[in-house]
């Protein structure tokens, strides 16, 4: 995980700011980022860091907002294997398992 992201997490915790830490825990096939890549998602939809961009990251951001609303951490699987991924210009064709941790 990026050192600046860790620093920002500490600052958020000190301010009592709610956020979700999204971390790739497993990948299969070709993916834009690998296990250990992380990003923060805030209740207003802002994010810091990236897990690869595109429609996969947008899907995870939506799931992170749901997790924040529910105050429940969760595992989520992103499948970049369908026609929608091809339409989006994604050339990866893999699967990412992410852990969304509500902080």
**Pairing between strand 47-49 and 20-28?**
unpaired
What pLDDT is attached to residue 54? 86
Q: Are 13 and 103 in contact (CB under 8 A)?
A: yes
pLDDT in tens, 7-50: 999 999 999 999 999 999 999 988 889 999 999 999 999 999 99
Structure tokens at 39: 């990003």
What pLDDT is attached to residue 21? 97
pLDDT in tens, 41-99: 999 999 999 999 888 899 999 999 999 999 999 999 999 876 555 565 555 678 999 99
Q: Are 38 and 2 in contact (CB under 8 A)?
A: yes
């Amino acid at each position: 995980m990026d050192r600046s992201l860790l620093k920002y997490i500490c600052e958020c915790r000190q301010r009592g700011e709610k956020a979700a830490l999204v971390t790739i825990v497993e990948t299969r096939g070709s993916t834009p980022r690998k296990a250990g890549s992380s990003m923060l998602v805030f209740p207003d939809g802002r994010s810091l860091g990236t897990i690869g961009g595109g429609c996969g990251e947008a899907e995870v951001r939506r799931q992170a907002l749901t997790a924040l609303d529910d105050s429940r951490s969760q595992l989520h699987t992103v499948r970049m294997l369908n026609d929608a991924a091809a339409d989006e210009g994604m050339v990866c064709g893999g699967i990412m398992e992410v852990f969304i941790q509500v902080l």
